[in-house]
Amino acid sequence: MTDNSQSLRAAEALASGHGSEDPFAAAIRADRMATIITDATQADHPIVFANDAFLRLTGYGRDEVIGRNCRFLQGVDTDPLERARLRAAISAGQDITCELLNYRKDGSTFWNALYLSPVHDSHGAITHFIGSQLDISDKKRLELQWNERQNSLEQLVADRTRDLTQALEQKTALLHEVDHRVKNNLQLISSLLLLQNRRVSDPAVKDALRGMLERVNAIATVHRRLFQSEDVERFDVSAFVRDLVSDMMGSSARTDILFRLDLERVDVAASKAAPLALIVNELLSNALRHGFPHGQPGQIFVGIGRINGDFRIEIADDGVGMPNAAKSSGFGLTIIQLLCQQLKARCETSDAQPGTRVVIHLPINDAHP
Amino acid sequence: MNEQPLGVLIVEDEALLAAELGFLLEEAGCRPLGHAMRSDEAVAMAHKLSPDLALVDVHLGDGPTGVDVARRIHDDCGVVALFMTANVKRLPDDFAGACGVIGKPYSGHGVKMALAYLEVCMREGVAPGPAPVGMTLSPAYARLWGLSDQPRAV
């Protein structure tokens, strides 16, 4: 520590040059803002002036501060980075604003918004620093509270997000499990029908079992399609028809019947997928089984598109036509009627000359009468 | 056909499915060699019977061990495995060495098409075209049989 007497002399010199008649000095002495002046010409920049506001803020007496570097205000919890910034500004001769946790004489702390700026002589050399201190403890406390609230809110959001993610994962796992079971059960049902079909010899029973197998297969195809797509809510009717036709064509072993497809992509709600699939299955099955008896060759057309705000599904064959066709299963027709009712769809059958044309009009939304 | 029919091992824990699959195999001109319901049975039968092809369900009597079965019989015995599962999306990206997958629920026709297709692939070493509806080839086998990587079934 340098000799305190040098600082006292400097303090006197400063005071004598700026007596009570100096309005600038009077302003600083009486200011409510705590202010100090340090001597930059001495080593370690001792304080050579402190106003009453500074003494009130810090709790020290004037004789306890004159001659000391103002770092005595700092303590264990003062941010070292902010202190380093302050030191750097002083040695560079620049002004600086910083926020420091400072300690009063009684050990209590306050947040100090320090503004420090150099004072130059007529040659441009730095003679003093003037520092003003503002107690910003209240602002800091609010800041701290705000940060804490912010952090706890963020924590809350993070917790909630984690919970929701977990719940979603569980739901997804459950959905996969249910989907898996549904598929396996459909497989089991179709295996049962196939196995029984191998056992029976009565053609009528065989035919009934084959019909049921086709229906189960149609539902199975729906289910495979539904879960393959990204959107489990929507069902691509054309993709389904392509699968179904390929399967029916193959299992019918009727290479003499040609399929012609004109399929526009049409999506329906997943809830309508199974009934619609069953209708298409019955119509295709009818055309295939009854339109071309005794090895008569021919063609079956399937068209899907939109018309007047409806989905239009057409299934036409150039076979023997309705009056000549062997009586199609009454049960199949019942299925078509019931499901059209359910879907609020309209089913029109006409003579295709030759053959039969069936057109299903399915309203896109349920508002359709 | 002059060639020996494909010898096929069924690895499936549902007895009814396995029984029906056995009939299907015969209809498709294959030779069903046996039916395993658990992973240890499957591996032992693969060693003993040296099948050309194994139809492997993912969920077996001892848990979801089908993937492991496919990898072991492929690595140990060089058996071509074909998964038959409702959990197509849960298969590892490399298909555990299996040649592909048929998604459940499959149709009898779909299985026959797949078998006929695989028979050509295995005999000729080249695929006659893209895999039939309902079947997806693994990337490794698609390359092996001269197809560029297929996107998984859409």
pLDDT digits (tens, 9 = 90+) for B45-74: 999 999 999 999 999 999 999 999 999 999
Model pLDDT for residues A162-184, shown as the tens digit of each residue: 999 999 999 988 888 888 899 99
**The pair of three-digit structure tokens given for residue A124, joined into one six-digit string:** 């441009």
Residue B11 confidence (pLDDT) above 80: yes
CB contact under 8 A, A191 and B14: yes
CB pairs under 8 A between A and B: 73
- DSSP letters along A125-158, please? -EEEEEEEEEE-HHHHHHHHHHHHHHHHHHHHHH
- pLDDT score of A229 more than 90: no
| Interface check A186 vs B, CB under 8 A | yes
pLDDT digits (tens, 9 = 90+) for A266-322: 888 888 999 999 999 999 998 988 888 888 999 999 999 998 888 999 999 998 887
Judge whether B123 lies within some domain: yes
Residue B151 lies in a domain: no
Whole-angstrom CA distances from B6 to B16, B49, B52, B131 are: 22, 12, 6, 18
Please provide the size of chain A in residues.
369
Across the range A239-266, mean pLDDT stands at 89
- What distance separates the 2 farthest-apart alpha carbons in chain A? 131
Q: How far is B91 from chain A (nearest CA, A)?
A: 13
CATH number for the domain whose boundaries are A233-363: 3.30.565.10
In a domain, B106, yes or no: yes
pLDDT of A28: 87
For residue B35, what are its two tokens?
Answer: 């039916």
A339/chain B closest Cα distance in angstroms: 23
User: Which of A121, A125, A119, A124 minimizes the C-alpha distance to A38?
Assistant: A119
What pLDDT is attached to residue A327? 52
Residue with tokens 């009077």: A26
Which residues on adjacent β-strands are paired with residue A304? A263, A313
Cα A3 from Cα A5, distance rounded (Å): 5
Query: What is the span of the domain harbouring residue B128?
Result: 7-144
Question: Given an 8 Å threshold on Cβ–Cβ distance, is A188 in contact with B16?
Answer: yes
Helices then strands, each counted (H, E), chain B = 5, 6
Contact assessment for residue A152 and residue A140, using Cβ atoms and an 8 Å cutoff: no
Question: B108-124 vs A237-252: helix axis angle to the nearest 10?
Answer: 80
Burial class from Cβ neighbours inside 10 Å (0-12, 13-18, 19+) for residue A39 reads: buried
Long-range (24+ apart) CB contacts under 8 A made by B37-41 are B37/B11, B37/B12, B37/B13, B37/B61, B38/B13, B38/B62, B38/B65, B39/B63, B39/B65, B39/B66, B39/B68, B39/B69
pLDDT in tens, A182-196: 999 999 999 999 999
- The amino acid sitting at A19 is G
CB contact under 8 A, B20 and A191: yes
What's the angle, vertex CA B41, arms to CA B40 and CA B43, rounded to 5?
65
Interface mutation target, options A191, A223, A244, A281, chain B, most CBs of B under 10 Å? A191
Residue B33 sits at φ, ψ, to 5 deg, of -95, -25
pLDDT at residue B1, as a whole number: 45
Polymer length of chain B: 154
The b/e string for A160-196 (b: 16+ C-beta within 10 A; e otherwise) is eeeeeeeeeeeeeeeeeeebbebbbebbbbbbbbbee
A337 touches chain B (CB under 8 A): no
Tokens of A151: 């952090």
Coil, helix or strand at residue A163: helix
More confident residue, A325 or A55: A55
Compute the CA torsion angle A138, A141, A142, A147 (nearest 10 deg).
160
| Three-state SS at A343 | helix
User: In this complex, which of A221, A228, A251 lies closest to B153 when CB atoms are compared?
Assistant: A228
Residue B123 has pLDDT above 70, yes or no: yes
Burial of residue A58 (number of CB atoms within 10 Å: 0-12, 13-18, 19+): buried
Q: Are B104 and B132 in contact (CB under 8 A)?
A: no
Locate CATH 3.30.450.20 in chain A. 4-135
Q: Which CATH superfamily is domain A4-135 in?
A: PAS domain (3.30.450.20)
Domain containing residue B131: CATH number: 3.40.50.2300
Nearest by CB: A247 against B16, B21, B109:
B109
Q: Does the pLDDT value for residue A2 go beyond 80? A: no
Answer yes or no: do B104 and A223 touch at CB < 8 A.
Answer: no
Q: Which residues contact A180 (CB under 8 A, 6 or more apart)?
A: B86, B87
Contacts of A242 in chain B (CB under 8 A): 133
Whole-number pLDDT of residue A367: 40
B19/A188 Cβ within 8 A: no
Alpha carbon distance A34, A192 (integer Å): 95
In a domain, B152, yes or no: no
Residues of B near A (CB-CB distance < 8 A)? 14, 16-17, 19-21, 23, 86-90, 103-110, 112-113, 133-134, 153-154
Please tell me the total count of domains within chain B. 1
Question: So what's the pLDDT on residue B51?
Answer: 96
| pLDDT tens profile A341-363 | 999 999 999 888 889 999 999 98
Distance (Å, whole) CA A285 – CA A247? 11
Strand partners, A356: A317, A351
Q: How many CA atoms lie within 13 A of A36 on its CB side?
A: 28
Examine residue B90 and state whether it is found in any structural domain, yes or no: yes
Task: Quote the pLDDT of residue A22.
Answer: 84
Q: State phi, psi for A49 to the nearest 5 degrees.
A: -150, 140
Residues of A with Cβ-Cβ distance to B113 under 8 angstroms = 250
Edge-to-edge strands, sheet with A346-351: A257-263, A298-307, A310-317, A356-363, A346-351
- Separation between Cα atoms, residue B71 and residue B69, nearest integer Å: 5
ipTM of predicted assembly, 2 dp? 0.84
Contact call for residues A182 and A223 (beta carbons, < 8 A)? yes
Nearest to A195 among B19, B88, B106 (CB): B19
To the nearest whole number, what is the mean pLDDT of chain A? 89
Q: Checking phi first, is residue A117 left (phi over 0); if not, alpha (psi -120 to 50) or beta?
A: beta
